[in-house]
Amino acid sequence: MPGVPVEVRDVTRRFLRGGEEVWALRGVSLRVEPGEFLALIGRSGSGKTTLLNLIAGLDRPTSGEVEVGGARVDRMSERERTRYRRRVVGFVFQSFALLPLLSASENVELPLRIAGWPARARSERARQLLALVGLAKRAHHRPYELSGGEQQRVAIARALAVQPSLLLADEPTGELDSVTAMEIFQLLRDVARSEGVTVIVCTHDRLVAEYAGRIEELRDGRLAPPAERDVWQRWQARGAPPRMPGLRPAPVAPALEPPPSSEPSEEDISRWAPPERRQR
Ligand SMILES: Nc1ncnc2c1ncn2[C@@H]1O[C@H](COP(=O)(O)OP(=O)(O)OP(=O)(O)O)[C@@H](O)[C@H]1O
Ligand SMILES: [Mg+2]
């Protein structure tokens, strides 16, 4: 699953709220290279989730272009966007969004089931993915038997199940302590490196600075030029985030098999759990 380039050109997004116009994005242009790990930071309301949703094909820009892997996401029909989300994009949410009655392995297998994989191939792939995220021994545990960090690892394994080229995460460490957050960022970085997936993460967590290949800051719906990066400057004024020794070594990516060709159902994984809006 080689990563894809993401190109956002002069994108705006206007919302109407109670008859009032809100410009969530006011002309954002951004290119993300295949296999890059980009962190989008910015104050609450600066437009991070809006931008991520446009790249995810969950929403359309008011104007401007969104191109992922050479395909114009902003021009896709509803049906094409569903297909795009299912085939190209993996989603990771703040709240993990695992199904509580299913084991870790069954949660990871779910998108494969929808994609029409045969049972044995599914369980083998789930086994490989859980090993990739360091949870080989937790395959049969249910979410409530796992820590928050472990649940988020399962969610990352699930997001990778159908070999997406682009992994999008909105506040993936919002509910985790700082050591666990670092492990999640490290895992996302390793996934970008070893699997070549392009990773874009929206976050308020300054620990991301240790792991992201690049950080861009949104300010009032625009990408802030370096001198105007308020959040970034505040992070820097607090000093570099602490390096934590003793993190687990980076998982070694197993050679993942390509998915068997089959006709997937029309179910859309991205609709299981829309990204949650959290007030800060
Ligand atoms: N569906 C919507 N309808 C109306 N306004 C919206 C909608 N979605 C977002 N907005 C507005 O657009 C702006 C940007 O919101 P967005 O959720 O992208 O911010 P954010 O940077 O992700 O914030 P946070 O850090 O709190 O998650 C905000 O003013 C928000 O209220
Ligand atoms: Mg947000």
pLDDT tens sequence across 64-119: 999 999 999 999 999 999 999 989 999 998 888 999 999 999 999 999 998 899 99
143-179 confidence digits (pLDDT tens): 999 999 999 999 999 999 989 999 999 999 999 999 9
pLDDT of residue 238: 87
Across 61-92, b (16+ Cβ under 10 Å) vs e yields bbebebbbbeeebbebeeeebbbbbbebbbbb
How far away, in angstroms, is 72 Cα from ligand 2 center? 23
Please report the pLDDT score of residue 7 as a whole number.
98
| For the CA of 51, the nearest atom of ligand 1 | 18
Model confidence band, residue 260 (pLDDT cutoffs 50, 70, 90): low
The pair of three-digit structure tokens given for residue 273, joined into one six-digit string: 């759990």
Residues with CB under 6 A from ligand 1: 15, 17, 22, 24, 42, 44-50, 280
Pick the atom of ligand 1 nearest to 218's CA.
21
Q: The pTM is what?
A: 0.88
Nearest protein Cα to ligand 1, atom 6: 15
Q: What per-residue confidence (pLDDT) applies to 271?
A: 47
CA 272 – ligand 1 centroid, Å:
20
Task: Please provide the average confidence, as pLDDT, over all residues in the chain.
Answer: 88
pLDDT at 247: 46
In the chain, beta strands by DSSP E: 6-17, 20-32, 37-41, 63-68, 71-72, 89-92, 166-170, 198-202, 214-219, 222-223
Query: Which alpha helices (H) appear in the chain, and where do they start and end?
Result: 48-55, 78-87, 104-114, 119-132, 148-160, 178-195, 230-237
CA of 51 to the centre of ligand 1 (A): 10
How many CB atoms are located within 10 Å of the residue 230 CB?
Answer: 14
Domains of the chain: 6-244+251-271 (3.40.50.300)
Query: From atom 19 of ligand 1, which residue's Cα is the shortest distance away?
Result: 45
Q: Which ligand is nearest to the CA of 41?
A: 1
pLDDT (0 to 100) of residue 242: 59
Sign of the alpha-carbon torsion through 90, 94, 98, 103: positive
